[in-house]
Amino acid sequence: MGYYTISSTAIQVSHELYALCARQAEERCDFYVTACDLPDNYQTWFAITQLHVWMLMVRLRAEKDSKIYTQELVNRLFEDVEERMRGHGISGRIVVGYIKDLIAQFHGSVVTYDEGMCKDDPVLAAALW
């Protein structure tokens, strides 16, 4: 039936893994807003969540079939992004435009985080900030 194929397993597991990533911004909101002096808005939520997704992506790189699991994890992120936008009353072409911008931001962040991880602490700190 295909229930235990790699793709099916990756979809199932990615839901659980993404839930852990998404929870970080919500449970520690006071820390990010107060201690880190970040604004309490959608962009901050996205930045923190994508950082946690990236950390998990780095860990997944060491595993067999990591590309499939990573792709499913990113799919969960952008499903949540769209759902949250629609929950705030944004719809239609506006959502599509925002998602395109966030995808570009996500890819740029992944590249800068990876570069910072491969180089040195000041480069990673700059990427994080």
Domain locations in the chain?
A: 6-128
pLDDT of residue 91: 85
Return all residues near 105 (Cβ < 8 A) that are at least 6 apart. 46, 50
Question: Quick one: pLDDT at residue 124?
Answer: 86
Number of C-beta neighbours around residue 17 at 10 A:
19
Does residue 41 register a pLDDT over 70? yes
pLDDT (tens digit per residue) in 94-125 = 999 999 999 999 999 999 999 999 998 888 88
Alpha-carbon distance of 31 to 29, in angstroms, equals 5
* pLDDT for 79 beyond 90: yes
**CA dist list (Å): 33 to 29, 45, 64:** 6, 10, 37
Contact 53, 18 (CB under 8 A): yes
pLDDT of 1 strictly over 70: no
- Say whether pLDDT at 77 is over 90: yes
* Contact by Cβ (8 Å): 6, 67: no
**Helical ranges in the chain per DSSP H:** 6-27, 29-30, 42-60, 66-87, 93-118, 121-128
